[in-house]
Structure 1
Amino acid sequence: MILIGLSASLDKSGDKHWEGLQQSRVNQAYVDSVLGAGGLPLLIPVMDKKEALRTALAACSGLILTGGQDMSPLHYGQEPEKGLGEVSEARDDYDLALYGLAKDMGLPIFGICRGMQVINVAEGGSLYQDLARESTFKLKHLQEAGRDQISHSVTLTPGSRLHDLLGDRIQVNSFHHQAIRDLAGGFRVSATSDDGVIEAMEALDMDKEKILAVQWHPEELTKTRPEMAALFGYFIQLCEKG
C-alpha cells in the first residue's frame, strides 16, 4: 500500500470533556475512500513548520487537500464581503504551504471542495465569496440533504481526464457556497454545473503535473456511487505511477 497524505481541518472540540481544545482532524469518509481505493491514508496535522510538512510529504506518494471552512479573500486580493463564512489564518497558511511543497516535490494532488479552491488561489486564481449574492447562479449549491445524497448534475468537459473517467454527465452532492471565479493559469475546467459554476479542474498537462480537483464531496459517495469510487481509484493509480 502507498501512503496518501490527507490535509487536516483545524477545529475546536465539541465534546464537553475537551470543550474549546483545537483538533487536527479529518472526516472518516476520506479515510474509508482512500482505503477502498487501495491507498493507506496518513493524516498530516495542521502546523506552521514547513520542514515538518516536507518530511511528512516525503513519506507520501500523493496528497489529498480536504474540505473545510472558507479561505480568507485576502489571499486573492479581495476584502471580506457579506456572506463570507468562518476563516482560519492557520488553516489557510498550512494548506497553501502543503500544496506548494507537494507540487514542488512532484506529488499527484487531489483537491476536494475547499481543496479545489486552495489550489486555484495558490496558483493565482480567485473565488466568489458567496454564490447566493451572485444573480447568475440559480442552483442550490449548499444542499440540506444528507452528505451521502446527490443534489444536482454536472457536465464533464470533453477531452479532459475526468471526462475520460466519468463520461458526459454525472450527479453529485453539493456542500459549498463559494466557488472559482477566475480560473488559475495552467489549468482547465473539467466540469461545470448547469448554472455555470466550475465544478472540477485539472492541470493542462496532466502527464507533467498530476493535479486535479472537484467541488463536490466524492468521499461521501464512494460506497453508493461507483463513479465516485472510480475517481479515488484513478487518483491512487496516478500516485502509484509517480
Structure 2
Amino acid sequence: MALGGTVIQDIETKIPQAISHYQQAERHDATHDIQIEENCRLYDIFNKSSIRVNSINHQAIDKLGSSLKTAAAAPDGIIAAVEAVDQSSSLFMGVQWNPEEMASEDPYMQGFFKTFIYECSNKDITVD
C-alpha cells in the first residue's frame, strides 16, 4: 500500500465480527455510520462528528502508511478515511466509501466534492 501501509485483503475473513462493508443495498444508499475525528479536515468539510456512508468493498486499510492519520472509522474500527498528518499542505485524503455514488442526492457528499474541486482549482465554485 502507498506510503508503507498494509491492506486487509478480505475484511470478512480477517475480522468476522466486522459490520458488512460490502452492502447489499443500492450503491447510493448509506448503510452505516462513521465517526469523524474533530481535528481533521474531513470534520471541517462535514462539520459533524458522524455521518452515514455507503460501503462497497471487501478490503480495508490495516496499518497506516507513514505521514497518514485516521480521520474517520466505522463502528467496527475499520478505517473509513485517512488524511495527511501535515495539514498545512494541499488536500490529501482517502476515503473508504464511494461518495460519487451518493453525491446526486446527499448534500454532505456534494459538499465533499465542492471542497475537492475548490482545492484542485483554487477557485470558489457554485453548484446548483
TM score, norm. by length of structure 2: 0.89
Compare the two structures and name the one with the higher helix fraction. Answer: 1
Q: CA deviation at 1:177?
A: 0.6
Matches within 5 A, 1:35-184: 121-135=1-15, 137-166=17-46, 167-184=48-65
Distance in 1 (alpha carbons) for counterparts of 2:38 and 2:16: 24
- Cα displacement string for residues 12-70 of structure 1 (whole angstroms, at most 9, x for unaligned residues): xxxxxxxxxxxxxxxxxxxxxxxxxxxxxxxxxxxxxxxxxxxxxxxxxxxxxxxxxxx
Distance in 2 (alpha carbons) for counterparts of 1:158 and 1:137: 27
- Structure 2 equivalent of residue 232 of structure 1: 113
- Segments of structure 1 that go 5 or more residues without pairing to the other structure are 1-120
Distance in 1 (alpha carbons) for counterparts of 2:8 and 2:101: 24
Aligned residues, how many? Answer: 122
Helix, strand or coil for the counterpart of 1:147?
Answer: coil
Q: Which amino acid letter does the alignment assign opposite residue 124 of structure 1?
A: G
Helix, strand or coil for the counterpart of 1:123?
Answer: helix
Q: CA deviation at 1:164?
A: 1.3
Q: Which amino acid letter does the alignment assign opposite residue 227 of structure 1?
A: Y
Distance in 1 (alpha carbons) for counterparts of 2:76 and 2:66: 23
Q: CA deviation at 1:158?
A: 1.1
Native 8 Å contact 2:37 2:71 kept in 1: yes
Q: CA deviation at 1:137?
A: 4.1
- Cα displacement string for residues 136-188 of structure 1 (whole angstroms, at most 9, x for unaligned residues): 64201000111111111100011100011111100000001100000011011
Q: Which structure has the larger Rg?
A: 1
Distance in 2 (alpha carbons) for counterparts of 1:191 and 1:135: 18
Residues 221 and 186 of structure 1: is their aligned pair in 2 closer, same or farther, counting only changes over 3 Å?
Answer: same
Q: CA deviation at 1:218?
A: 0.3
Q: CA deviation at 1:239?
A: 1.1
- Structure 1 equivalent of residue 66 of structure 2: 185
Q: CA deviation at 1:209?
A: 4.4
Helix, strand or coil for the counterpart of 1:213?
Answer: strand
Native 8 Å contact 2:61 2:79 kept in 1: yes
Native 8 Å contact 2:71 2:83 kept in 1: yes
Percent of matched pairs sharing the same residue: 34
User: Of the two structures, which has the highest relative contact order with CA contacts closer than 8 Å and spacing of 6 or more?
Assistant: 2
Helix, strand or coil for the counterpart of 2:100?
Answer: helix
